[in-house]
Structure 1
Amino acid sequence: MSDALAPAVPSGTTRPPDAGRPPPSTPPQPPSEPVTSAQRVLPLRRPGRWILSAVALVLVAQLVHGLATNPFYQWDRFQYWFARPVIVNGLVVTLEVTAYSAVLGLAGGIALALARLSRSPVLRAISWVYVWLFRSIPLIVVLLFLYNFSALYRTLSLGVPFGPAFWHFDEAHLATDLVIAVVGLSLNEAAYAAEVVRAGILSVDQGQHEAAAALGLPRRYQFARIVFPQALRAIVPAYVNQLIGLVKGTSLVFYVSLLDLFGSVQSMGSTYPGDIVPLLLVATVWYVILTSVVSVVQFYVERHYARGALRALPPTPVRRLRVAVATLAARVRRETAA
């Protein structure tokens, strides 16, 4: 009977197996809900992070509260000593010693690094021995040795090697306390700066050296205009760490009778024994200020030499603060609207 009702199929053709059957019914789709502005992706909650942040804030608050309320620190005496002329004079000496030693140490480090990378075995050997020797001797030993240098050589002379001398100098008058401090710190700093500079030069891609040599440029021009500017991206962060160590290392010049910041604090602490703690806090705060200034300078120097190496320069702290404030304000507006 079903065959009689089926549509006729011409002879010579094959009937499809599904012919005459109704198309399968598709299940009804649920109506799509319109996406409203209130629907948004919720961030993943991380309660552990909030708990650790709260614990850290509590510890910091306790530390600040202890510093502010403990009478042992004598903050009134700290305020009295912080900008006294004797402290400011010591701070000026610290800045002078740091500036001279940083410039001379970096210049000596560049010379030693170039000697270490030269093709002369004599220069390489002398540079290696210098770096090995001054990195092995503590800075305080170097300063004390230079301070007593006049006991070994009372006079210095210039003239023909192993021959007659034309000029004589009295070492006691030539080597003042400031000169001894700068020379000692510069000799020590040059040894560490040499390794920093050498590592920065080696970090430059070898293709840059080959391309500069292929252009037929003089070696001095290759180093000054092509290699060294690229090496500074690796030199600056490491050498700023050395510079911060140099700022703190100037506290040792007190042992060669030079009253820098730490020497002035020590001297005043001996005169006023009851103010030792606030005087040490004065020195601590001034050293923190100096190292913070060096860190800010480091950021902008690194940002300058990052041009051409990064697609986008890192934002400045002021820019980061503005973005953070804008993000927080937008989040508050969304929470209020919800």
Structure 2
Amino acid sequence: MGSPPPVRGEFPWWLAAAGLIAAALLWLMVTDETYARILATVSQGIGVTIFVTAAAFTLASALGLALAVCVLSRSVVARQAARFYIEIVRGVPILVLLFYIAFVGAPALVAGWNALAAPLGLGQVATRDLSLMWRAILALTIGYSAFIAEVFRAGIQSVDAGQIEASKALGLNGWHRFRLVVFPQAIRTILPPLGNDFIALIKDSALVSVLGVADITQLGKIYAAGSFRFFETYNVVAFLYLVMTVGLSLALRGLERRLRARREG
């Protein structure tokens, strides 16, 4: 059985408890020398974590939208190719995809570029020129684009068919129908699950540490291995991720309430 839905107006005791724990950890980070040193070290990876997440999410959203359009197109080839991509990629764990792209896909991509560049007189590149961070971003892009494509597809299909027929009657072509009628209405349905995927991507960005990318998790792992302060280090690592994910989750709930109120109004 699932948990019962929250009662409207109910005090968020879970948030109060989380806030107390966060306040206690913040106090330790300010007053305890060990925690302060760990925070100073681990926080250097915040920028990398945010960049990897933002870059991968932006690219995955663009690719996911293109895939969703292909799935809904009239072309059988486009529909089947997009569906093949979505189903295959969704069946591969993100960690396996990271290793595959980093150590199989990246060398193949470089070899393909060099084969095309040689006849054109363009410069050759080496596999090491493609950094591990960008290999990780590419893997996360591929992995999440398949899930985001389904979000876009469901949102586009949620638009009332009468709206589309009306736009056809007005003489709008396919692109203008999508840009002016379909997408503005679909985005209200798309935004909440898209936000959930962004939060999930923040957490999955920790997987890039297996490639040695200096994100929050990797710096925490290195510090803990050298100092044997595993308890304190992973308290700080978990705290930083929770601040980002819980903060975004609360912002997303506020956005959902606004969208619901606007729809009901």
TM score, norm. by length of structure 2: 0.81
For 2:112, the equivalent position in structure 1 comes to 156
Alignment RMSD, CA only?
Answer: 3.1
How many pairs align? 244
8 A contact 2:114–2:125 mirrored in 1: no
CA distance in 1, matches of 2:115, 2:212: 32
For 2:28, the equivalent position in structure 1 comes to none
Which amino acid in 2 is paired with 1:255? V
Equivalent runs, 1:78-89 vs 2, <5 Å: 79-81=35-37, 83-84=39-40, 86-89=41-44
| Cα deviation code 1:170-199 (max 9, x no counterpart) | 242441022111111111110000000000
Which consecutive unaligned segments of at least 5 residues does structure 1 have? Answer: 1-52, 69-74, 312-338
For 2:5, the equivalent position in structure 1 comes to none
CA 1:153 to 1:292, structure 2 compared with 1: closer, same or farther past 3 Å?
closer
Query: For structure 1, which segment, 95-104 or 288-297, has the greater mean C-alpha deviation from structure 2 after superposition?
Result: 288-297
Equivalent runs, 1:1-150 vs 2, <5 Å: 76=32, 79-81=35-37, 83-84=39-40, 86-149=41-104
Larger RCO, structure (CA 8 Å, separation 6 or more): 2
CA distance in 1, matches of 2:109, 2:62: 26
CA distance in 2, matches of 1:153, 1:183: 11
Which amino acid in 2 is paired with 1:220? W
8 A contact 1:113–1:198 mirrored in 2: yes
Equivalent runs, 1:224-303 vs 2, <5 Å: 224-273=179-228, 275-299=229-253, 301-302=255-256
For 2:132, the equivalent position in structure 1 comes to 177
Which amino acid in 2 is paired with 1:157? W
8 A contact 2:85–2:146 mirrored in 1: yes
Q: 2:170 aligns with which of 205, 210, 215?
A: 215
CA distance in 1, matches of 2:91, 2:129: 27
- SS for the counterpart of 2:112 is strand
The structure whose residues are more often helix, as a share, is 2
Query: For structure 1, which segment, 228-237 or 110-119, has the greater mean C-alpha deviation from structure 2 after superposition?
Result: 228-237
CA distance in 1, matches of 2:124, 2:111: 5
CA distance in 1, matches of 2:197, 2:34: 29
For 1:167, the equivalent position in structure 2 comes to 122
CA distance in 1, matches of 2:75, 2:121: 31
8 A contact 2:68–2:149 mirrored in 1: yes
CA 1:78 to 1:116, structure 2 compared with 1: closer, same or farther past 3 Å?
farther
- SS for the counterpart of 2:122 is strand
CA 1:152 to 1:204, structure 2 compared with 1: closer, same or farther past 3 Å?
closer
Q: For the pair shown, which has the larger CA radius of gyration, 1 or 2?
A: 1
- SS for the counterpart of 2:113 is strand
State the 4+ residue runs in structure 1 displaced beyond 6 angstroms: none
TM score, norm. by length of structure 1: 0.65
Could you tell me how far 1:241 is from its partner in structure 2? 1.2
8 A contact 1:116–1:125 mirrored in 2: yes
Q: Percent identity?
A: 29
